Amino acid sequence: MNSPQQRPTVEAAVATVNTAVFAATAAQAAEFTTLLQRLGETGSHVQTGGCPAALNWCAQQIAAVVIVDLDGETAPLQTLKELATLCEPGCHIVALGSHSDIDLYRALLHGGVLDYLLKPVRLDLLAATLERSRNDQHDDFARTGRSIAVTGCAGGAGSSTVVAALAQLLSEVRHVPVAVVDYDRQKGDQGLLLGAQGDAGLASALESQEIDARLLQRAMITVNPRLHLLGQESAPQTLKVVDSEHLLGLGASLCRLFNQVIWDLPAAHPHETMEVLRHSETRILLTDLTVQGARNTQRLLAKIGDESDGQQLLLVHNPVHAAQPALAREQFEAFVGRRLDLSLPYVGSALNESLLAGPLSLQRLPAMRQALLDLADLACGRRPERQQPAGLIDRLKQAIGRRAA
């Protein structure tokens, strides 16, 4: 351990490093650099080397938060104890790792670690952890479900179809408990898309003074064992104004019941839906590559804010009207001041035609299904699990194997 003369004073550290990250690999260090930039974090230090690098650095420097990767560390608890002796008393240590081990998590918390982040780290979880460090909160912290708000930058952007597809893929492929909120209170079509019929409880939930989670769960329509729908088939022409706090309370109740709550928000964007967009952990904005689409996108981005509060923003091109865009992608991105995160393939009228046979089905549209599965993974903070196409030799082996069977 170094002598006090070799280390900077606490006063000097105030102007140096807010967050120091010690990742296991260069790729993970690059990911953390991007996450911190998206959160608007300044005065950060990111490097590779894991625990050994953290020990060496903290012997000479001071940081408010130290995030250290435990992967490959044979004695993580002992190493973190040694790291704590090198850090200032006010420094918060956050562990990072690939193993979902509840015993390790409990031991880390008992040892004074602020939190344990599982890789890959979601933007909202990192933001919440850094916020807790600033507020010096060491109390029990339980993460409930997350909200994914989907809307079009203008009408006809295909948001309802995207919501239904995300809900199906997350519940059936990723095996995640999902709730869909169809907030188009006059022309909602999630019931048609998901193959559900009857009252889905939205009207009663909005009229109720207090939202009881159990009653809410029973009022929703069960689409499959992991997918439930909250919506309404019809509504009067003049809708009652919904209090924003009440709607956010409804969302919080759903997040106590489901892992992912997906909101289908109308492009008209009434006031309360803007609040849902501002508070959701993930916001998905659908647009087309036209001049009007670029203008609408720019206006909506200005209203809902950036990702500095830890809320992920995904800008998605959904070509519902034509295969060839009116604007080049580079022109569109330069105008709105932000890059597109994903482009969905153009499928023409194939989706609408498939609905004549029943609920939404993506089985005959493999390219669209894969793109939407990538979007579902991105929305949940995971890396897309896209399979690499098999080469000629691999396809021959598969064909020979099928014939031998």
4-134 and 146-379 in the same fold: yes
Mean pLDDT taken over the chain: 84
Q: What are 45-102's pLDDT values in tens digits? A: 999 999 999 999 999 999 999 999 999 888 889 999 999 989 888 899 999 999 888 8
Compute the CA torsion angle 286, 261, 106, 98 (nearest 10 deg): -40
Tell if the pTM clears 0.85, that is, is over it. Answer: no
Mean predicted confidence (pLDDT) in 123-147? 76
Which residue(s) pair with 45 in the sheet? Answer: 20
- Domain segments of the chain: what residues? 4-134, 146-379
At the top level of CATH, the class of 146-379 is alpha beta
**How much is the pLDDT for 4?**
42
Strands 146-152 and 227-230: unpaired
Mean predicted confidence (pLDDT) in 337-364? 85
Strands 221-224 and 227-230: antiparallel
Q: 162-176, 193-207, 228-242, 293-307: lowest mean pLDDT where?
A: 228-242
Q: What is the CATH number of domain 4-134?
A: 3.40.50.2300
Distance separating alpha carbons of residues 363 and 53, to the nearest angstrom:
48
